[in-house]
Amino acid sequence: MKRKITALILILAALLSFCSCGKYADVTVNGVKIGKGVYTYFLDRAKSENPKLGEDELKTAADGMLLRYVAVNSRFKNDGLTLSVDEKTELSDDVNVCWQYFGKYYEDIGVSKQDYYLIKTSEFYREKLMENYYSDNGEEPVSEQSLKDYFNKNFVAFRAVTGFLTTVDENNNTVSLPAAEREKITKQFGKMASDINEGKASIETAASYAENTIITNETVVISRNSTDYPEGFFENAIKLGNDKAGSFAIGDYIFTVERNDINSDELNLFNEYRDDCLKALKGGEFDLLVDAWSENYKVEKQNTLSLKK
């Protein structure tokens, strides 16, 4: 009995510590008041993600987000976790940058910077909970080797020169280059790759072989599902050997790509993308776990709260 009472106290403490002070929403979670700005944020987010939902459906979606928010905050405290100094600094920086761009919008709908800080804090808590849950000492350990295997199969590191097989006509319309010009550019990009592989040129100097090119200034890393490059780019790039170059065209783009060793100690890329690998492997499963945690909480309505027009 004492253990149950202690758990309840911890849950209530967690709820209270994550409600913005001052104005409260017309909803409670397990009887505890929720900051009006926090709930307004979830209403706005539900609306942006599901613009066709009716008002009742919108509030149901916002309620689900709120319950997951509370569940994450409570679990984080109950597990005795804390954010490191570096994580707190990153959190603060993220909030300040986002507020520069979106602060006016949020203030107009009734979300304060403090409200936004609480939301972002919960997102950091969620990441740390996931990391802890799947750590060596966690409830469902995921080995470093399985993460590295996933990283090697689903991420590629490279530098690239990008060219264009189009031009603009007299009516300012984008049109395909004539066949002869396309062939000329294709040969130029092929020579880039050959000279890089033979040690005759670096990717910087090879980029000058053709006009109107764009070169990446440093190593770029993309995942298999990345939309930063056209479909098929990843498959072509990962087929190259480490430190080898190749050229290929996709639609109206042409590339010379020099693949970098993704396991290079100098680049230290795995540590940078480790969390992305964990999310890809276990993100869906962890979402279901958070949903299960949220079932311990209940939203109760008082009056109604709508977004400002």
Please write the tens of the pLDDT for every residue from 102-152: 999 999 999 999 999 999 999 999 999 999 999 999 999 999 999 999 999
Model confidence at 2, pLDDT cuts 50, 70, 90, reads very low
- Round the average pLDDT of the chain to a whole number and report it: 91
pTM to 2 decimal places = 0.78
Average pLDDT on 52-66 reads 94
Summarised one tens digit per residue, pLDDT across range 186-234 is: 999 999 999 999 999 999 999 999 999 999 999 999 999 999 999 999 9
The phi, psi pair for 174, rounded to 5°, reads: -80, 125
For residue 130, give every residue at least 6 positions away whose Cβ sits within 8 Å of its Cβ, in sequence order, or none: 278, 279, 282, 283, 286
Closest of 10, 295, 287 to residue 133, by C-alpha: 287
Is the predicted pLDDT of residue 58 greater than 80, yes or no? yes
- pLDDT at position 301: 85
- Bridge partners (DSSP) of residue 157 are 221, 260
